[in-house]
Chain A
Amino acid sequence: MAEYYLQTENMAVGYDRKTLIHDICIRIKKGEIVTLIGPNGSGKSTILKSITRQLKLIGGKVILDADDLHGYSYRKLSTKMAVVLTERMKPEMMTCHDIVATGRYPYTGKLGILSREDEKKVEEALAAVHALELGNRDFRAISDGQRQRVLLARAICQEPDIIILDEPTSFLDIRHKLELLSILRNMAKEKQITVVMSLHEIDLAQKISDKIICVKGEIISYCGEPEKIFQGDIIRDLYQIDKGYFDPCFGSIELPKPEGDPEVFVLSACGSGIPVFRKLQKENKPFAAGILYKNDIDYQVARVLASEVVTEEPFREIGDRALERARTLMRQAKVVINAGVTIGACNQRMEVLLAEAEEMKHYVVYK
C-alpha cells in the first residue's frame, strides 16, 4: 500500500476551464482527518468537488489508493468514496431509512432491492450516528441537525475508505456540531476511514483535525498540523482579520477594542476582571487594567480589550515601575473599578493601590 491514501499532484481546479486554485499538493494518510479552512469563496468547495469528480480537473493529478482517480469507473469509485454535500435536497416522500439505504447502491443488484445483509448495514449506520429512532420519519420533516446525521449515515452505509464532507456543520447548533464531529473522529480512529472536509469553525477545525489546509484564493497558503497553523499570524493572514482579534491558542474571538485614552481603570485578579472588561467593551469605553501577572487569566482578555495593561512577571513581587504606572493611570481615570482582588504573598503591594483607590471620588466596587 502506498504511504498516502489520497494525494494530489500539482492539481489545478476551477470552473469552465478557468483556474481558480493551482499547484495544490495534498498528501493524506489513511485514517486521517483533514480539514480545509479559509474565507468564504476561497475555493474550499471547488477543491472538494474536484476530488469527488463533480468537477473536471484543470491540471495535475489526483491519486487515490495508488491509482489515478480519473482512471476509476464511477462504480468502483463509489465503493471507495462517499460524500456529504452542502446542497439541500428535498427528496419526495422518502423516509430517513430510504435515504440511508441509497448508500447501499453499489452493492445491490440490478433493481436495487435490499438484502437482509443490506438492511442490517443500514441499521448499523443509523445506530452509528444515533439516529435509529428517525428511521421511519419523512426526511423532509426532520431538523437540519438530524438531516446532517442521516446523510452521514448514508455515507457510512456506503462503506467507503474515504468520506468527503462539504461544510457538514453549517446550519447546526453547537451541540449537534460537536456530536457530528465526534462521530467523525470515532469513525476515523476506529475504522480507519479517511475524512476530508471543509469547516467554517476554525476553532473546531483545530481540535478535530490531524492536518489542516488553508485555502486562500489562488493558492494553498499553508498546510500542516494544527499546532503549526494555529500560531502567530497565519490565521489572521488567511482570513485577513484586521478588525477584532482571534486567539489561536484558545480559538476564541473578540471584537475590536474601544479606541482612545483609558477612561476607566480596572483593578482585578484571577478572572474577576473579565466580566467588567467585556461590559466596558460593549459600552465602547476605553479602559486600562492592572496590575496583572502575565499568567493571570484576566491578562489573556485584558491584553486584547484594554488600551493599556500594567503587568508584572509571574510569581514576583510587584515592582516599583508597575506600581507607579498603575498609580498614574488610576489618577488619570474618570472612574476606578474594583472587580475583586485576591491578595497573596507576592502581590501585597496591591493593598497599597486599593487603599489609594478607596480614597478616590469615583471609586466603584463591582459585584
Chain B
Amino acid sequence: MAKATRAAFGEALASVGETHPKVVVVDADLSCSTNTRKFADAFPDRFIQMGIAEGNMVSAAAGLALGGMVPFAASFACFITGRFEQIRVSVGYNNANVKIVGTHAGCGIGEDGYTQMGLEDLAVMRSLPNMVVVQPGDGIEAYKATEFLADYVGPAYLRLTRQALPDINDASSYSFDFGKGVELREGKDVAIVASGGVVGYALEAAENLAKEGIDAAVVNIHTIKPIDVALLQKLAASTGRILTVEDHGVVGGLGSAVLEALSETPDVVIRTHGVRGYGQSGTHAQLYDRHRLDANGIAQTTKEFVWPERAEATG
C-alpha cells in the first residue's frame, strides 16, 4: 500500500501519545501538512501551536525537553532546519531531548517549487555531533521509526516525504533496527545505497538492470547517522562499486555520509547521485525524471557507472 511517510508518522505519533504522556508536539501552522493534526485532536493539551515562528518553536521545544517533556517539533524540512542556529545551540549543545521532524523533503514535493523543498537539511543536521538522523523509505518504516524515536533519548532528526511511497518492507515482519542498513536485494556488480523516497525506485531500477546483465544490490539506509559502516564495508568488498541515491542535494547528505564512512576503505569506487542545482516547480514525475531519480534515471546512472565505456560509446 502506498503511503507518504509523513502520514505514517502522524498515525504513529497519535498512537505514541496514548502510551507516552510526556510526548508533546510543537507546531508552526503546518499541522495539517506535517500530519501532527491527529495528535492535536487526540491530545489538545499536549499540542502547542507556536505560529509561523520556527526559531521560537525550536528553542521552546528545547525548553520543554529541559523541563522533562519529549517534544516533537515538526515543520517542512527546509523551514525547521533553516533555524539551524537555534537547533545547534538550544537543542544540540544542550543535548535536549527534542525530535526535529522535517516533512516535505526533497524535490519530490513537486509543484510548490524550490522554496518549500528540503534539499540541504541532511547536510546541516548531520553536522551536529549528537544529532541522529533517520529517513524512512516507506510508511511501514516511518511508523516504526516514530515509535523508536519516542523512546530514544537525545536530539534526533526525522526526514519525511510529502509524496506517497510504495511499500518496500513487509508490514507483518518488519522491525526497525536503528543504525542498521537493510539489504533489500543482493548483487555483485554494484551496490545501490539509497534512502527515503527513492528506495522503491532503486529496487525497480535493479530489477530492470538484471535483465540487461547488471547484478545490482540494493540497500536501504534508514539511519543516516550513525550510518551502518560495517554493512558499507561489506558491500565495498563484495561489489567494489557503490552508487548512492537520494532526493537531497549532492553535498552533505547520504552520499557524503557514505564517502566519509568509506574514506579509508581500499578498492571501492563511490559515485554520489542526488539533486544538483536548486529545485523548481513541476510534477513529481517530471522532477524525478529531470534529476534522474526515478527507476529509469537510477538505472541509466548505474549503467554509466558500471559500464563507462559503453556510456561513452552510446553518447
Question: Do A and B make up one complex?
Answer: no
Residues on B close to A: CB < 8 A? none
Binding site for B on A (CB under 8 A): none
